[in-house]
Structure 1
Amino acid sequence: MTRTDTLGGAFARYWVAVAISAFGSAVTAVAMPVLVVQVLHATPVQVGIVNATQILPYAVIGLFAGVVVDRTARRPLAIWASVGRAIVLGLIPVLWALGMLEIWTLAALLFLFGSFSVFGFAATQSLLPSLVSKGQLLRANGRLDQTDAAAQTAGPALGGALVGLLGAPLAILVDAASYLTDAVLLLFVRVAEPPRERTRRRVWADIREGLHWVYGHRTLRALAVSAQVWFFANSLVLTAFAIFALRTLDLSPAVYGLLFAASGVAAFVGATFAPRAGHRYGEGPVIVVAMALYPVAWMAVALAPHGGGPASIAVIAAALVVHGFAGGLSNANEMGYRQAVTPDEQLGRTNATMRSANRTVAAVGAVAGGALIALLGPTVALWCGVAVYTAALAIALFSPMRTARVDRPAEAV
């Protein structure tokens, strides 16, 4: 297998492909809540269900997808997954124009979108270690996170503007086009993937092997469990925040998008420092510090004035800045550690196992958030999210993650 020693060549093309789809997804991150809440007039429970449907496939087919990724070539799988997502997203404005788009129709489409995403993310994440050397993984993931943060900065602002100009359904077309572009660019990524051995092993045997690797490894187990609790909290608070911002505070789509843009700027800063922090202090300590910031950020959101004026917007913006910085700081270290300690033949199952578990609990968190909002209101739901974020921090803090560090060659230091 041939690897590049620098972040160039094949990685550059891979990076551009991922960047374009990230910008499109950032637009949808604004357009989709507006479509659900303001265009389709969903109830709080329906908001939670719609949020859950696009991540529910991780629970249904996620482990199987990991086996497929480890048994087949990863680049073609990533390409077809992007094509599938583009088609599904393109159907949303078409059905809306025909007067056929309803909450349950949208939920079904998002479930299909999530199914393509299960294979797409597992394939692209597992492809990266074939493009760069092991010592460059943290730097490569940091570069990808910087790009994602830039997308979170410009994408929501663009998304808010597009929603105001074209409406939420048509704005989603931007994301559909980005996935098509992603697929075309991946066609030109040249990579010598390791040969996949033909096997007659049962799928369940491979699934069990992947689960044993993740949950039998002391540090990966702690990373996985703390991440699962974090995803529950994050899905819960984001479901609550959509209702809180768009209904309780009555913010416009443009302001809603700008708030997430502020978070994106902070995520870019966090991603910029992530490789340096990881090399100096170790991946584990950096992840733990980042996790400590989340409950602080969402506590501030829950305490924000409910008037919807400049004061409440300023508090929420500051909180989302902290949230974004924490995400940018931790993600590259988490992904780099996972990819560095996992053998190539296990990467697909490891990535799919952890992502499937994360998204499964996220689906539960979205539904729980919708139910809590309906019963007790969005503010109480936000406080529940703060408590769960704190639990995720405790799991990471009192585990081997506290001192986890990957031994890297001198070139990466």
Structure 2
Amino acid sequence: MQVGQTEDGSLPIERHAVRRHRGFRLYLAGQCASLSGGAVTAVALPAVAILDLHASAAQVAILAFLSQLPSFLVALPAGVLADRHSKRFLMITGDLAAVVVLVSVPLASVLGVLRMPHLYGAVFVLGIAKVLHEAAAISYLPDLVDGELLQNANSKIGAAFSVADSAGSNLGAALVAVLGAARSVFADVLSHLVSAWCIWRIRGGSQQYRLQKHIGMAEGIRTGLGYVARHEVIRPLILALSTLGFALGIMNTYRTFFLLSILNWSPATLGLVMGIGALGSLIGALLAPRISESFGPGPPIIVGFALTPLTEVPLLFAGPGFTWQIVLASSLVVQLACAATAGTMQRSTRQVLCAPEFQARMQSVSTWLSAGSRPLAAVVAGILVAAFGIRATFAVGTALMLVPIAVLVPSPIRALRTVPIVIQPRSPAGVETEVTHS
């Protein structure tokens, strides 16, 4: 694709006119539909387990664990598949696989045969489909959008995702109340069908650098890990993300329990505070391009990571009462704004600097280290709470958030004031690639 040219070779795109890019509009619509539907399912499936199947606390914990496990087991192979095959095909395949799995839940409920093992299998397979879809989707964006538009595109994605996720969660709660937990899953079925239809409608001549099919899965994973480990900018970014993800995993394991049970918040108050916090994500994502243009991506990324542990400090001392609710809501707005701003910048930086043939594997390494560590973070949180209590566990999680700063400050990211907009293919010795058009 030439700079300033749409995916179908039509009229040029102005630098900040990514919304006029037909392929990107379809991509964004499909991703938002999938995300909002997934948020509904995140509410509905635990409700099915608790309300319809009367699951125990241990069974709910197993359900949550199995939903997160695919990120650890499947992320790296999914990256190899996405670098080897058509990303559009894999995205559509993931959506349709999710449709089949999701339909089975309300159908089994209507027939009276729904049991916990069915839900266990459903969330696990659904997790695999999600990992496969996301590995292809995130790495497809640099194929679809020119390098000079990536920051603007990621900003719009971040802003849209913050709205879609919040709307999906609220819709899920409403549907469970009106339709029942099992029937609510049909909303996610519809969302994946919309996503598949949007991706199918994208037509393009974008270049995709694919891993040669004769290279085995293990070799593809090894070279992907090696590429990330050798890259002087991508490596510290992913290490910082994974460490922050692990720390947040520790914090979030007991955050809701702490707010509802220890501070005696009502569910309505918790929902309101989370909704207010979502505004931070929206604001941060929208401001990211302007901040990047003014300061470059490097300093804002470091500042965003540095402010995150400070936003958790109020939680260490919080007590009951309206004043603390305002303080924690304000802290959440700042935290999510920093996460959205730094997140869109670091994602754009990684996408632009990564060689095209490693896009999916690079992203999958990030997913594997960040999302794949969440089950371990939950286990560590449980051990810490049993040994030292909740507030001490929060202190450990907050302290771990300082590690990304130590990783990023000595790295070249500190001096990164501009990012090249032309993605040049770079292959390590012994790895062959082919250029195709899809």
3-state SS of the aligned residue for 1:54? helix
**Equivalence for 1:361:** 373
Cα 1:176–1:165 shift into 2, 3 Å:
same
Following superposition, the deviation at residue 409 of structure 1 comes to: 5.6
Whether 1:126 and 2:139 are equivalent positions in the alignment is: yes
Following superposition, the deviation at residue 149 of structure 1 comes to: 1.5
Bigger radius of gyration: 2
Whether 1:204 and 2:199 are equivalent positions in the alignment is: no
TM-score by length of 2: 0.83
Write out aligned runs for 1:100-179 (5 A).
Answer: 100-102=114-116, 105-179=118-192
Match of 2:381, as an amino acid? G
For the 8 Å contact 1:262–1:317, the answer to whether it is kept is yes
1:381 paired residue among 372, 382, 393: 393
**Equivalence for 1:83:** 96
Match of 2:342, as an amino acid? S
Greater CA drift, 190-199 or 65-74: 190-199
TM-score by length of 1: 0.88
Match of 2:213, as an amino acid? T
**Equivalence for 1:333:** 345
**Equivalence for 2:255:** 241
Cα 1:80–1:64 shift into 2, 3 Å:
same
Deviations 1:119-174 (A, max 9, x none): 11110111111211111111100110010122244333334444444455544443
CA distance in 2, matches of 1:91, 1:302: 43
For the 8 Å contact 1:46–1:370, the answer to whether it is kept is no
**Equivalence for 1:262:** 276
Deviations 1:266-303 (A, max 9, x none): 10000011111122222222111111222122222232
Match of 1:15, as an amino acid? L
For the 8 Å contact 1:156–1:260, the answer to whether it is kept is no
Q: What do you get for the CA RMSD once the two structures are aligned?
A: 2.8
For the 8 Å contact 1:88–1:109, the answer to whether it is kept is yes
Following superposition, the deviation at residue 247 of structure 1 comes to: 3.8
Cα 1:115–1:128 shift into 2, 3 Å:
same
Following superposition, the deviation at residue 257 of structure 1 comes to: 3.0
Following superposition, the deviation at residue 64 of structure 1 comes to: 1.4
Following superposition, the deviation at residue 177 of structure 1 comes to: 2.4
Cα 1:180–1:11 shift into 2, 3 Å:
same
Cα 1:262–1:30 shift into 2, 3 Å:
farther
Greater CA drift, 369-378 or 61-70: 369-378
**Equivalence for 1:188:** 201
Following superposition, the deviation at residue 89 of structure 1 comes to: 3.6
**Equivalence for 2:335:** 323
3-state SS of the aligned residue for 2:213? coil
1:302 paired residue among 282, 307, 316: 316
**Equivalence for 1:62:** 75
Deviations 1:90-132 (A, max 9, x none): 4445556637443x65444322222112211110111111211
**Equivalence for 1:223:** 237
1:15 paired residue among 25, 28, 46: 28
CA distance in 2, matches of 1:312, 1:241: 15
Report the number of matched residues: 406
Following superposition, the deviation at residue 17 of structure 1 comes to: 0.9
CA distance in 1, matches of 2:126, 2:140: 21
Whether 1:290 and 2:304 are equivalent positions in the alignment is: yes
Deviations 1:289-333 (A, max 9, x none): 11122212222223221x4x5344333322221221122111111
**Equivalence for 2:363:** 351
Following superposition, the deviation at residue 246 of structure 1 comes to: 4.1
Cα 1:13–1:294 shift into 2, 3 Å:
same
Match of 2:304, as an amino acid? A
For the 8 Å contact 1:160–1:256, the answer to whether it is kept is no
Cα 1:27–1:299 shift into 2, 3 Å:
farther
Paired-residue identity, %: 29
CA distance in 1, matches of 2:51, 2:276: 23
3-state SS of the aligned residue for 2:77? helix
What runs of 5+ residues in structure 2 fail to find an aligned partner?
Answer: 7-12, 423-438
3-state SS of the aligned residue for 2:401? helix
Cα 1:166–1:247 shift into 2, 3 Å:
farther
For the 8 Å contact 1:85–1:113, the answer to whether it is kept is yes
Following superposition, the deviation at residue 85 of structure 1 comes to: 2.4
CA distance in 2, matches of 1:211, 1:159: 37
3-state SS of the aligned residue for 1:190? coil
Following superposition, the deviation at residue 361 of structure 1 comes to: 1.6
Following superposition, the deviation at residue 41 of structure 1 comes to: 5.8
Greater CA drift, 6-15 or 146-155: 146-155
CA distance in 2, matches of 1:299, 1:50: 31
**Equivalence for 2:430:** none
Pick 1 or 2: higher relative contact order, CA cutoff 8 A, min separation 6.
1
